[in-house]
Structure 1
């Protein structure tokens, strides 16, 4: 039976259960999804806007590609150090306070990056940004497990992670505009304005999170008692099928390490593209910063559509492994085509668009794998461990691409390396037992 036209008004308790349940989840989605998406848009923008800053910053500060790659990637060392403690703290004190704290501190650090003048200062600020942001992403993934059972969580996680693509759609043109039009204003370079103006929204959204985010179903005053009971009953039913392992056992679990390796492979592809996309587009012959910003939005806009369609299919079929693997293989193909067609802007953009669609589609659906068998404090630690180990690829990937580009004077070898990682991740995803994750 179709759900009500207005999802913000759930039917009464006398309505058929399927209608009442669907309307309740729609109500939750309207309340939570826009806020967590907004959080991730500004988070991801602050994380990767250094890719646009590079277009001016490296020349101004005399930074080599290898230095830039190391600085872009050292973010993830700070991220790695504080990830697991941060997620356990969130599980104990609640998402509202902790996510707000994370957002405010990373916004401040991002703004202060405008004052770097040496490679060492660049490294330090990127490292501090990683420390500040640690715990945000796995914290939201954990937070969604408090509200949604597995067969609904895939689509919600995808909506949340479309923020990566949306930050590219929004951030590309905005970053290009700032670089081109504010360069020299008040005596500051365009890249300095970039860090300042794109850091401010994180602080403001952090305040909004503190005011509006509810830690748990029981604290959501905008839900009726019947709606709360329905949601809590569904979560309890799923949690009863899981085993809340001690943190130490979770961190030594072969399953968790396998998930970490799969995620590491996909993150290699993600940040290889995210940090180097403007440079790759520039290498095809496009030199205007505003045009590069506009072109960089195209792959991310296409990725939004792909992410939502594939997630819908995965939830409807309750199949996870192939819905992760096939986009991974498509992403690998796109990376290869982007370098085969590197000297033709139109064809190279086609390859980059396919690569971005495939890579970004794997990420939210990947998270339906570990959250299908992790629970409680074990879930907090396990999700954080998978994310922190996987995001070490965020350190290795831009540095490896930069080093290979500097050694070979071309982008080819770096993109081939990333394609190999995507293929490996897809094959590992297929190796996961279907009974473990297809729920």
Structure 2
């Protein structure tokens, strides 16, 4: 007889720390531009807005190649495809250290998005192959904790690397890209040899455990086969499109805050290194929230409050940070806002698994994530534009607060639509 808790624990320890480390590397490589910006803008002679445009082109490449990437993952397996993703984005990140002008910066940021496309939704899809639905919220929460760790590690690392300006002839901003690109290449090689594919081929599970997991997942997936073998059909499912629209608010506010926070703190008059260490604080709160909120949501029948309430708290704190002029209070509100932005996301990602599986899950999850991540493109263009138009580094928080509140309201529409479809699909009782 299979011990369920022991089996889930075994899978968790095999997969989650490794996937989390990969996400940590990915997130640092994605966010390193927020610290490089503090020197790179002057070095390349760009305006804040022009730099924001270049940084945001990552999300265009990500958007265009996300769904095809996840469909390749479904065909080739996570081990091969994740290795390719990591090595290619590491090479592009290293190349960013040798940027000579704005055009080169734009091209490389776009290519970085192309190379990284498919990683985050690929992990979400991988979790549907390994974990029963009752565990996925917690697993996504554990996985996303590494994004908080990445910001906590990346912030002081970025500040220290900037202060290496001139070492061995490299500028501080060049060190930022060199030191964050090399680990991705190394991790890609390790991934090829370490990461297991599907449960039925896993050497660390015995036959009884494989059969138990297969029966459990097959039972849960019964009745969800409408898009199982047709990835592209999932892309036109109204539920997928609605969830993609709803999700935009979360990456928009997340990237807007994490991208701009070092600039806000710099305006307080601190050094690069102090700036980096202060930026650890919000991500400690985010890590705690990413553990607590999904764990509570997994035990609750209704997931909606665990998405909406943290999001409204985050929106309120963003608003207060822009209204109150005291620097200490501003920073405190921004720390709480970060937790409110990130904590609902693992719970949100438990919703698509209610109607997607197989290739449909690979395509649907990628579509939701790719469209949603266009919020990052919006944030990294609108935030510096608001700063330049208003002359205030804190004014963009009004915009982020409004977008996050709108996203929280849309969650009600999404969950209502899902419940209605499930009720309509349920067999009638005589």
Scaled to the shorter chain, the TM-score interval is: over 0.9
The normalised TM-score by structure 1 is 0.93
Listed one character per residue, the Cα deviations across residues 206-232 of structure 1 (whole Å, up to 9, x for unaligned) are: 111111111100111111111111111
CA drift at 1:344: 2.9
Give the Cα–Cα distance (whole angstroms) in 2 for the partners of residues 70 and 175 of structure 1.
21
Aligned to 1:330: 313
Aligned to 1:295: 278
Q: Given the alignment, which residue of 329, 354, 362 partners 2:336?
A: 354
Give the Cα–Cα distance (whole angstroms) in 2 for the partners of residues 91 and 330 of structure 1.
37
CA drift at 1:286: 3.0
Q: Is the 8 A contact 2:71 2:231 kept in 1?
A: no
Would you say 1:257 and 2:230 are equivalent positions? no
Give the Cα–Cα distance (whole angstroms) in 2 for the partners of residues 272 and 437 of structure 1.
35
Q: Is the 8 A contact 2:264 2:394 kept in 1?
A: no
Q: Given the alignment, which residue of 192, 203, 206 partners 2:188?
A: 206
Q: Given the alignment, which residue of 223, 233, 236 partners 1:241?
A: 223
Q: Which stretch has the larger CA shift, 329-338 or 134-143?
A: 329-338
Alignment of 1:267-346 (within 5 A): 267-283=251-267, 285-341=268-324, 343-346=325-328
Give the secondary-structure state (helix, strand or coil) at the position aligned to 1:214: coil
Give the Cα–Cα distance (whole angstroms) in 1 for the partners of residues 231 and 118 of structure 2.
16
Listed one character per residue, the Cα deviations across residues 307-328 of structure 1 (whole Å, up to 9, x for unaligned) are: 1101110011143211111111
Give the Cα–Cα distance (whole angstroms) in 2 for the partners of residues 66 and 371 of structure 1.
38
Listed one character per residue, the Cα deviations across residues 285-313 of structure 1 (whole Å, up to 9, x for unaligned) are: 23300000001110001110011101110
Q: Is the 8 A contact 2:55 2:109 kept in 1?
A: yes
Would you say 1:98 and 2:99 are equivalent positions? no
Aligned to 1:9: none
Alignment of 1:39-438 (within 5 A): 39-180=22-163, 182-245=164-227, 246-283=230-267, 285-341=268-324, 343-431=325-413, 432-433=415-416, 435=419
Give the Cα–Cα distance (whole angstroms) in 1 for the partners of residues 395 and 360 of structure 2.
39
Q: Is the 8 A contact 1:262 1:429 kept in 2?
A: yes
Give the Cα–Cα distance (whole angstroms) in 2 for the partners of residues 162 and 319 of structure 1.
23
Aligned to 2:4: 21
Give the secondary-structure state (helix, strand or coil) at the position aligned to 1:309: helix
Give the secondary-structure state (helix, strand or coil) at the position aligned to 1:146: helix
Q: Given the alignment, which residue of 11, 15, 23 partners 1:32?
A: 15
Give the secondary-structure state (helix, strand or coil) at the position aligned to 1:317: coil
Unaligned residue ranges in structure 1 (runs of 5+): 1-12
Listed one character per residue, the Cα deviations across residues 79-103 of structure 1 (whole Å, up to 9, x for unaligned) are: 1111111000000110000001000
CA drift at 1:362: 1.9
Give the secondary-structure state (helix, strand or coil) at the position aligned to 2:356: coil
Q: Is the 8 A contact 1:72 1:275 kept in 2?
A: no
CA drift at 1:253: 1.5
Q: Is the 8 A contact 1:154 1:315 kept in 2?
A: yes
Give the Cα–Cα distance (whole angstroms) in 2 for the partners of residues 175 and 247 of structure 1.
39
CA drift at 1:254: 1.3
Give the Cα–Cα distance (whole angstroms) in 2 for the partners of residues 338 and 234 of structure 1.
47
Give the Cα–Cα distance (whole angstroms) in 2 for the partners of residues 312 and 220 of structure 1.
27
The normalised TM-score by structure 2 is 0.94
Give the Cα–Cα distance (whole angstroms) in 1 for the partners of residues 105 and 213 of structure 2.
46
Aligned Cα root-mean-square deviation (Å): 1.5
Unaligned residue ranges in structure 2 (runs of 5+): 424-430
